[in-house]
Structure 1
Amino acid sequence: MMERFDYQSAGLISGLEVHQQLLTGHKLFCRCPAGLYTITHDGEMLRHMRPTLSELGVYDGTALMEFKTKKEIIYLLNHKNVCTYEMDDTPPFPVNQEAIDIAMELCLTMNMDIIDEVHIARKQYLDGSIPTGFQRTAIVGVNGWLPFGDRKISITHVSVEEDSCREVSDKGHTIVWRTDRLGMPLTETVTGPDLRTPVEVRDAIMLCGLVARNTGRVRTGIGASRQDINVSVQGGSRVEIKGVPRAGYAVKLVHNEAIRQSNLLKLRNELRARGFREPREIRIHAQDVSDIFGQVDLGSLRRALAAGGRVFAVKTEGLAGLANWPTQPDTRFLDELSGRIRVIACLDDPPIVLSSDAMPEFPYRHKVVDRVRKRIRQGENDDFFIIFGPEADCRTAAEEIRNRFGDAVEGVPRETRQALFGGYTTFERILPGPDRMYPDTDSPPTRITKERVASVRARLRPAPWERISRYLSWRVPEETAHYLLRRSGAEIVDTVVERTGVDGLVAAIEIGQRAKAMSRKGIPVNKLDTEAWVGIFDLLTGGFIGRESVGKVATEKAKHPGLTAEEAAIAAGVAVMPKGEWMAQLSNLSMDDYWGTAGDGEDKRLRFLAGKAMARLGGQAPAKEVINYLRERFGREVKQ
């Protein structure tokens, strides 16, 4: 359960960066197949990353942070889906023009201005997720908007870019990546900071997803769409929550981040009340206390010492008690320190860091703590932390404790945080700045002509909000309307209605609700394409099957794709009988076994009779005609 929080008073604002994989045959800058995932590899490649200067001669802060981790980066390669381009041994091929066209479709749907000339840029990533150390990216459209309730949300720009590797493992100074996803085309849709509550963030993610799926040219499934959520409160800083896989997760993540930032601002005020005004005023002293902990029965410390590591006590002057300062719900500032140390110092054996106020129980605990306090000469207002591992990493960790408290003096640090289960986040890296961007001199620009824009505009599908409005006017349940858009059923429904003349509500219910239920029963209804559904509804509107038989015909056709709709109807035994034949079968119906009450109305009695009739006919007669026949044939009996 989420604790109460006043988002308006806190000044919460949020925006999105929605990443969507595109449904293209090959990757963005080479001709390797896109979407071919593998779990095996033919070879491995080892790399180390180092930062480069931007065009203005400045190092990006995130790149410097990643360099401090001293990671060994291993790539798992499969010849079926990677080539020398991904490994940075070959210049890029010309950019995939199909990907640019799909990005233009998104831009035009979102009322954006298309860039006259698409220029490729490089965006530094030294976390190892891209072997080149940078991602190739290009802005395609700017200055758009989407309808959002009774207002609009702004879309600042849409970019087309290449996807990164999939992480296999990250332990200590070694990280392993699988390269099958690397280089696949995706779009990044960036909204303005227009969202004011966690629920609005969730709804905006779903809206952006509908726009993408409405094109019919994007990938679906786990990992095909990922959201980064930017969050800040008044007085705080922009924090990016990275890689949110589902819209529903956004509510708790944004809620908890708003609480975290509010608590960090209170911590800033507490530090200022203690006399800290600038980060440089934070003072620490790290001392080796391995001899004190040599016989302590704590598994993580014993493993570190057995591996040749050390145990250090880090004294923080004037910071007593702040390790327990609340941040996210049920977390504290000690978790902030732990996240930094895990990522930057590569110390990842839990609990990573111990505080004097939260030392676990072990024999002679009080004596050990007293010895540490005397060794580091702890003052009344001081605190200390215990870190353990290789000596060089421990010294890096001690410096990160100082840096994180220094950030706390200023309030909320600008950082990227990893989304965790339960709505919590942990530190991933310092938030990148503009210094990581520079032009890609290997890729020529792509000129976008007015004729090309007009061609893309001509094949645009109706916008998702237009479709939803139309479906609601057909009395289609809103949930079903959204389901059809998410599952690419809207295009099928529209085509079926246009080409067969079937009632829109009937088509939406059968293709949406009933097909969904069939799928849950294991019927491969997803194999039915637009032409298959058109054939089935042609039978319905032509009077060859009743509406009750649509699902049966669809089931036969899904199980036996080679059948025509007519053959599927025959196989299902639901072809409509001649009128005289089905009337003859109903001539001896009666109300004899009706167990109603004297007050039952005519409609209830008629429904009972209709149920018996349709069960007898097995859907081989039009339901509306059957009911009219029953009303005329058995009218007096029904009324009685």
Structure 2
Amino acid sequence: EVEMVREKIGCRNMDAFVISSGEKKVARTCIEAVITRAAMAFDMEGEVRKALPDGTTKYMRPIAGAERMYPETDVPPVFIEPDRIKRLKSELPETFDDKILRYEKYGLGKDEAEQIVYGGKDELFEPLVKKHDPKAIARILLHVLPEIERKGHDIKNLAGRIDEVLEGLEKGMFSKDGIDKIMECWAGKPDASLEEIIKECGIEAMNKEDLRKEIKSILKEHTSIVAEKGEDAISPLMGIAMKKMKGKADGSLIYQILKEEVMRIVQEKSREYKK
């Protein structure tokens, strides 16, 4: 019978039909409701549906619109003093965006600032930046500690050592190139003092005089490089010097003294050649 009706009214494969039977007014109202619901399939509005035991849902009612929203009639209006609003605004926490901008003013790059803030490292950064170089702090938080953790070390106790490490750096107990090694050594010996860790790592800071002696010793061992390359020997010799003295002196100071000594040798050779 269904197929006969479909054929009679010209239904195609994906078509459906509805029969409404009853008094004309009731039948028409029913059909109009069906048409309205069918149209909603093409222009869906919010609706409340009931979950059924078989995992499907059933239409219950449309979601109430703005016309259903009204003030609570049983609660009297509350007047908020402008001063209170002003005070509350002043007590709002700093937004992430504002904090990132503030960190950029410390000299950090935007990426560094975002990593600290979004990574939840700002709680460590804030007290440290009042005393130490922001970029040194950022390097430890974003690079040194993660690298130590990647090597399999427990870094839980290292966060509390950052202040002490930076104080040691500022006192000249070691160079900034030694921070990585000190932090890694400390991860393995959390109960040791900074002095003990420095000794353990073998990176006690060298004074300028001892550093120059060490560089002269390196040049003596590699005279052939200077003889062959002249001023260009600085680059390969710098690699040798850094490998031997990393952590004991800043790279910039090592480079400065190495350059002075290489140039001295080159100039002496030049004078000898002219004679």
Shorter-chain TM-score bucket reads 0.5 to 0.7
Name the CA distance, whole Å, in 1 between partners of 2:196 and 2:64: 61
More helix by share: 2
Report what 1:635 is aligned to.
263
TM-score by length of 1: 0.29
Name the CA distance, whole Å, in 2 between partners of 1:563 and 1:544: 16
Report what 1:123 is aligned to.
none
Shift of 1:621: 2.0
Shift of 1:495: 2.8
Name the CA distance, whole Å, in 2 between partners of 1:513 and 1:616: 23
Name the CA distance, whole Å, in 2 between partners of 1:582 and 1:469: 41
Which structure's relative contact order is higher, taking Cα pairs within 8 Å and 6+ residues apart? Answer: 1
The answer (yes or no) to whether the contact 2:179–2:247 under 8 Å persists in 1 is: no
Tell me, yes or no, if structure 1 residue 613 matches structure 2 residue 241.
Answer: yes
1:548 to 177, 185, 191: 177
Paired residues for 1:12-411 under 5 Å: 374=3, 377=6, 379-381=10-12, 383=14, 405-409=38-42, 411=43
1:507 to 137, 154, 170: 137
Helix, strand or coil at the partner of 1:383: coil
Shift of 1:534: 1.0
2:215 to 570, 582, 586: 586
Report what 2:147 is aligned to.
517
1:538 to 149, 167, 172: 167
Name the CA distance, whole Å, in 1 between partners of 2:47 and 2:200: 62
The answer (yes or no) to whether the contact 2:125–2:137 under 8 Å persists in 1 is: yes
Shift of 1:556: 2.9
Deviations 1:146-182 (A, max 9, x none): xxxxxxxxxxxxxxxxxxxxxxxxxxxxxxxxxxxxx
Residue 632 to residue 525, structure 1, CA distance change in 2 (3 Å): same
Deviations 1:463-518 (A, max 9, x none): 54344334445553322221111122234334323213x3x323322322333333
The answer (yes or no) to whether the contact 1:471–1:505 under 8 Å persists in 2 is: no
Tell me, yes or no, if structure 1 residue 493 matches structure 2 residue 125.
Answer: yes
- Sequence identity (%): 17
Helix, strand or coil at the partner of 1:587: helix
Shift of 1:615: 0.6
Name the CA distance, whole Å, in 1 between partners of 2:247 and 2:128: 21
Residue 563 to residue 540, structure 1, CA distance change in 2 (3 Å): same
Residue 455 to residue 623, structure 1, CA distance change in 2 (3 Å): farther
- 2:164 partner amino acid: G
Deviations 1:48-103 (A, max 9, x none): xxxxxxxxxxxxxxxxxxxxxxxxxxxxxxxxxxxxxxxxxxxxxxxxxxxxxxxx
Name the CA distance, whole Å, in 2 between partners of 1:520 and 1:432: 54
Name the CA distance, whole Å, in 2 between partners of 1:402 and 1:557: 76
Instruction: Choose 1 or 2 for highest CA Rg.
Output: 2
The answer (yes or no) to whether the contact 2:198–2:204 under 8 Å persists in 1 is: yes
The answer (yes or no) to whether the contact 2:215–2:257 under 8 Å persists in 1 is: no
Name the CA distance, whole Å, in 2 between partners of 1:568 and 1:380: 87
Name the CA distance, whole Å, in 1 between partners of 2:169 and 2:15: 77
Helix, strand or coil at the partner of 2:205: coil
Report what 1:333 is aligned to.
none
- 2:185 partner amino acid: E
Shift of 1:381: 3.8
Helix, strand or coil at the partner of 1:468: helix
Helix, strand or coil at the partner of 2:163: helix
The answer (yes or no) to whether the contact 1:519–1:526 under 8 Å persists in 2 is: no
More strand by share: 1
TM-score by length of 2: 0.60
Name the CA distance, whole Å, in 2 between partners of 1:542 and 1:471: 25
Report what 1:468 is aligned to.
100
Name the CA distance, whole Å, in 1 between partners of 2:108 and 2:224: 36
- 2:263 partner amino acid: G
Report what 1:262 is aligned to.
none
Deviations 1:441-478 (A, max 9, x none): 9xxxxx99x799969957955x5434433444555332
Helix, strand or coil at the partner of 1:377: helix
Q: What is the Cα-based RMSD across aligned positions, in Å?
A: 4.7
Gaps of 5+ in 2: 17-33, 49-56, 75-79, 271-275
Residue 376 to residue 506, structure 1, CA distance change in 2 (3 Å): farther
